[in-house]
Amino acid sequence: MVLGVLLNPAIQLIWNYGLFYGSTHLIQSHSYVCNTMFCIFIVLIGYCRCMKPLKAELVGLFITTVGVIVMFSDPEAARTDGQKGSLLVYSFCLFCAFLAAFFMLINSFLVTQVPVFTLLLLQASISFTYLVVLVLPLTLGDQYKFWSTDKYWGAFGFLNKEQLVEGLLAYGLSTGLFGNTGYLACLLFYPPVVVSAFYLIEPIVSQLIGSAMGIDRFPGACTWVGTFCVILGILAL
């Protein structure tokens, strides 16, 4: 259990980096699809462990996979800056999704051993420690300042008075309370493959936000048809 509590924040950091990296190189729907399709990997991991999947799971995953393929084939889905993702970017995002499958599987065990909010507090604290002690010093170099609230280079930049309300309330509530907290709480009632499948609703939301902010062009029919298939696949699960 202790190993899981220590390992999962590291996996989450890599997975989140995959989302950020993908979102700066791909259109938002493709980035989020690649990084959130770990329900497929969960079934494959279970199969490797000789756990026979249910027929509903296989049908749901098949429909979901078709939806993902249709979304990827949308010729109208493109970034406004003209940037096109390479095979390396797609591969890295898929690798992050593979790691995220273990994140969900480990958490499905941990939520039965540790109260959900205690688990969230532990993982958030450990993840932040990994970030400010290991990741940021390596990525930002000499510009990084540990004991600082500088919003660009400080380890505690989220406490900067210029963005304190935005960071703690807007992003904290939306991505924290209504994001990770909700998903982890659902693991108390549903298996990991079902909870993880609901992540695949995020690509269409991210695409709409990306289009509204001028990052991506508005998606075409393939994205909408693919999204509909994904939702059907989730319902089948």
Domain map (residue ranges) of the chain: 2-236
Q: Is 8 helix (H, G, I), strand (E, B) or coil?
A: helix
Q: Is residue 189 within 8 Å of residue 24, measured between CB atoms? A: no
151-196: pLDDT as tens digits:
788 888 878 787 777 777 777 777 767 777 788 888 888 888 888 8
pLDDT in the model for residue 237: 65
> In the chain, which residues have pLDDT < 70?
176, 235, 237
DSSP annotation of 131 reads: I
Would you state the structure tokens that stand for residue 18, as one six-digit string?
């995959």
pLDDT in the model for residue 29: 81
H helices, E strands: number in the chain? 12, 0
C-alpha dihedral (40, 199, 8, 117), degrees to nearest 10: -140
pLDDT in the model for residue 232: 79
Would you state the structure tokens that stand for residue 77, as one six-digit string?
């889905």
* Dihedral sign of CA atoms 43, 44, 48, 52 in order: positive
Q: Which residues contact 169 (CB under 8 A, 6 or more apart)?
A: none
Distance CA 227, CA 237 (A): 16
Output the CA angle 203-204-206, nearest 5 degrees: 65
Q: Which residues contact 143 (CB under 8 A, 6 or more apart)?
A: 153
Q: Is residue 59 within 8 Å of residue 236, measured between CB atoms? A: yes
pLDDT in the model for residue 65: 81
